[in-house]
Chain A
Amino acid sequence: MVARLQLVIFSLADERYGITTAQVKEITRMEEIAPIPRCPRYIEGVLNLRGQILPVICLRERFALPTRTDSAATRIIIVDADGLKVGLIVDAVSEVSDIAEALVTPAPDVASTYFVTGVCHHSGTLISLLDPVRLFSTEPQLGVSSIGQ
């Protein structure tokens, strides 16, 4: 048996990313998000998920990508980051795939890939594996300057 990794694969701008299914709680359509004042720009606000109030992050803002326009494909991926439930807004969720762990190579060690724990090729595209916990840490060595401002 080859060790396999089950990933939720989604797109953001023109790139593909993956998060392990173990860290994904659920995926919902875009819903109304209440903005919270005095927050970093990438924090979109809070979401009412069946009575629970969860913070929601816009991944495009987090990665300093061009501003998003919501479409029918826009999704919120609810992840569990060290026990904290957080919603991530992505352009679209494409599939859930099994990938052999052996195919994952460590991310190139450059600052701009701070959120990325590894990369792999799948169906001809490059997928960056995200670590949700890192998305909320305020490590300073980010490759993009506008984050959190």
Chain B
Amino acid sequence: MVNNDYLRLFLDEAEEIVDRLALNMVLLEKTPSDAGIINEVFRDAHTIKGSAAAMGFNQMAGVAHQMENVLTLLRQGQVVPEPRLFSALLSGLDVLRRIKHDVYNTGRESTYDLAAILTSLAGFLPPLTEAAAIRATVPSGATATHRVEITLRTETVMKGVRAFILLKRMRELGEIVRCEPAESALTEEQFEQSFTVEMHTDQTVATLSEALGQDGDVEDVRVTSIASPLGKDQQGTEKQGQDRIDTRQHSVRVDVNKLEKLMNLVGELVLERNRLANVVGNLERASRDNQQMQILLGVSGQLGRITNELQQEIMKARMIPIAQLFSTFPRLVRDLAQNRGKQVDLLLLGTETELDRTIVEEVRDPLIHLVRNAIDHGIESTEERLKHNKSPIGRVVLTAAHEETNVVISIKDDGRGIDKDAVGRKALSLGLVTEEELRGYSDQQVFALIFAPSLSTARQVSDVSGRGVGMDIVRTQLEKLGGSIEITSELHVGTEFVIRLPLTLAIIRALLVSVQGRGFALPIASVSETRKLNREEVRVVQQRDCLVIREQIVPLVSLASALTLPNAEAAPEHLVIVFSGTSKVALMVDRLLGEQEIVLKPLGPFFAANRELAGATVLGDGSVVPIIDVKGLLSLLRQQ
């Protein structure tokens, strides 16, 4: 019964719930009386218990069950919301995550030693037998018969599984008397959108509606009390017993690969649209008065508009809110702060900001690194903060926002700041800069030195600079995504890192250049400036042509020779200065053809050895142009 589709649905759901639980538990620790959060946490624990059990992952269900029991007491105000309690719940969550991870990799649970976590959770339960503790989740009362009518969303993918899981959930709440259609028909998906179940239960109408309505695939739940032998729900006639649950946000899970395919198709559509516009433009110039021509012009324009919109909509489908990434931070900050004996408040802003799914995944590690650093090295100890007349509680603010076609993420702390002089001294002693260069540096430039590999990997520097190791990796990773990072910092006031990322990786802005009649695209994210070459400014350093650009020695290379194209007669006179990390190179090209949005298409395994190429794109006239990967090009040049 458990095939891959069910398993994937389960894992998707579990992932979402576990992430939300982690976030909410940390919130709850701060505001333990927030009924909204308690209820959500409780519902989530309950759901994951139910679906894990339905999938036969009994250890997972067991831990979730025990967490649910503790949460029940918390909800009823019967346990003290102390840090110890939350630590236990969070450990429980870690176990759920680990099991989920195993299930993801192997399709099944392995065997875990759950004694420690179960005991620590049980420690919060009243000294009753476990059976009694479970009873606590079920308000004891008289049993009544209820009719439950469930309508699933029309877009529900696996109705059979949903029905199965819902029935399973109902069995936890009571005893099923009758199903219509029959249970076997339900689980085999032989029903429309609705089914009706009669059940004996001691739960109230409201609890039943809530427990069943929380399922994302349930459009509507109607619970009606049809018989209450002990008279508890006497007035529970059909009308009064009805309880409608608000429908949740309309969402469908879509396989990322399917989106990828759609995206590729739209990419092709965009290219064809450009070709059509091109042809139409040419035709128009040739036959301006033709009426058919005017119609073709109109059609081409409309097609262009529709294509644009379609492209944008599909891009949006690939977008996810950054909340999915940010949600891991409250837990991380809590644990780290506790571990370091610091007090830290985390503020998340702009969590609804959306960006490409791939980028969200790729930016996770750099962001974690920066936040850890902010707490490890930025935020001072409580005593030190008090000494500087600062609030004893440090603050880290994560902000995300859209800025034109970029997403900007800022990581700001109110800690001790980066000691500019210390960074400068260290860079001097490592020979990264000369004293003269350093004097001419702006604050920004000095701070940027912490990204230099030799500086950022020097252990002892992290203490003076106030930043940890591995900053070079952070920057490299961001640049790989076509992004950038900047630092501003003030001693004893705080530090801010600002990351700029493109909204998507599939479409990039590029500068088109031509070399010996061949076109090449250079990603704008790697271009620092363009200008004409002035022959007099060329210097020779170690037998190589160089330019001095803002006191930095930059090698001068013709793109043709870098790509080992045959030599041309005339020397190219246009310069494009490109960079990756701190290395720059001035490329000579014949012509600059302008900037354009291009669809990046991989070249495939055939050209795997061409590290200097990121892919290729098709231009409006149908011609194919290789896209240069500046990082690869630079490493190629180093070898030459």
Contact = CB atoms under 8 A, between A and B. Distances in A.
B616 interface: yes
A53 B618 contact: yes
A116 interface: no
B311 to A, nearest CB: 14
A55 B605 CA distance: 10
Interface string A36-61: 11110001011110111101000000
B564 A38 contact: yes
B612 interface: yes
Contacts of B624: 34, 45-48, 53
Contact of A37 (B268, B563, B622, B625): B563
B380 to A, nearest CB: 53
Nearest to A40: B609
Nearest to B628: A37
Contacts of B606: 43, 55, 84, 86, 136
Nearest to B605: A84
B388 interface: no
Contacts of A38: 563-564, 609-610, 612
B607 interface: yes
B271 interface: yes
Contacts of B609: 38
B431 interface: no
Nearest to B626: A36
B565 interface: yes
Nearest to B610: A38
B interface: dominant SS: mixed
Contacts of A86: 606
B299 to A, nearest CB: 20
B432 interface: no
Nearest to B606: A55
Contacts, number: 62
Interface residues of B, number: 25
Contact of B601 (A35, A45, A50, A53): A53
A35 B612 CA distance: 14
Interface residues of A, number: 20
A55 B604 contact: yes
A43 B271 CA distance: 25
B267 to A, nearest CB: 7
B211 to A, nearest CB: 48
Nearest to A32: B623
Contact of A35 (B268, B518, B605): B518
Interface in A1-51: 32, 34-39, 43, 45-48, 50-51
Interface string B601-635: 10111110110110010100011111000000000
Given A35-B518, A43-B606, A86-B606, A48 B613 contact: no
Given A37-B563, A55-B606, A84-B605, 20 more contacts: A32-B623, A34-B518, A34-B616, A34-B623, A36-B603, A37-B565, A38-B610, A38-B612, A39-B610, A43-B606, A45-B624, A48-B623, A50-B268, A50-B272, A51-B268, A52-B268, A52-B601, A53-B618, A84-B604, A136-B606
The 4 closest A-B pairs by CB, nearest first: A51-B268, A34-B624, A37-B563, A55-B606
14 contacts: A32-B623, A34-B616, A34-B623, A37-B563, A37-B610, A37-B612, A37-B613, A39-B607, A48-B624, A51-B267, A51-B271, A53-B618, A55-B604, A86-B606
Interface of A: 32, 34-39, 43, 45-48, 50-53, 55, 84, 86, 136
